[in-house]
Amino acid sequence: MDHSNYVIDQMISAKSIAARVEALAEEISQRFADTDKLIVVGLLRGSFVFISDLVRELELPVEVDFLEASSYGNSTESSREVRILKDLRGEIEGRDVLVVEDIVDTGHTLHHVLALLRAREPKRLEVCALLDKPSRREVDDVKATWTGFEIPDEFVVGYGIDYAQRNRNLPYIGKVRFTS
């Protein structure tokens, strides 16, 4: 199937995203109010816009690190084989850690990443996901502590999320509709 022809229909506006990010940051700041430093781990590449907006709203001392995992490549379907392309630079043992994910889909990537991070013995390990597609879940024990928006089973782009490395710069979340 040729995926070069598609249109994007706005699904979640930039204004709605900004309001939700502010609310999430308030809840996260309350949960980690007693921390000396929260290590915010962004899952690259899709979370980079979300993480930058989120950390600016947090009323906590934060350190930002990144981990890159891949299960999609240039496809619209997860391969279910998770590869770590970039690991954390810092140590998380005994620390408060917040994993920031763009979208929880099948759950395979997040399951793999959380197992990897739990083995490093953080004090607390929580997850904040911008989007959640529960209808696609294949791994039952994966759930974000905080979710921005629950969405139906649609292929989406924007606000850091891409299709074949395109459309990350859209200020909103849009549904991709393939045309002939």
What is the set of active-site residues? 105
> In residues, how long is the chain?
180
Question: How far apart, in whole angstroms, are the C-alpha atoms of residue 35 and residue 25?
Answer: 15
Interior CA angle at 82 toward 80 and 86, to 5°? 155
Please give the torsion angle defined by the CA atoms of residues 79, 47, 148 and 25, in that order, rounded to the nearest 10 degrees.
Answer: 150
Task: Measure the N-to-C terminal CA separation of the chain; round to a whole number of Å.
Answer: 9
104 - beta bridge partners? 132
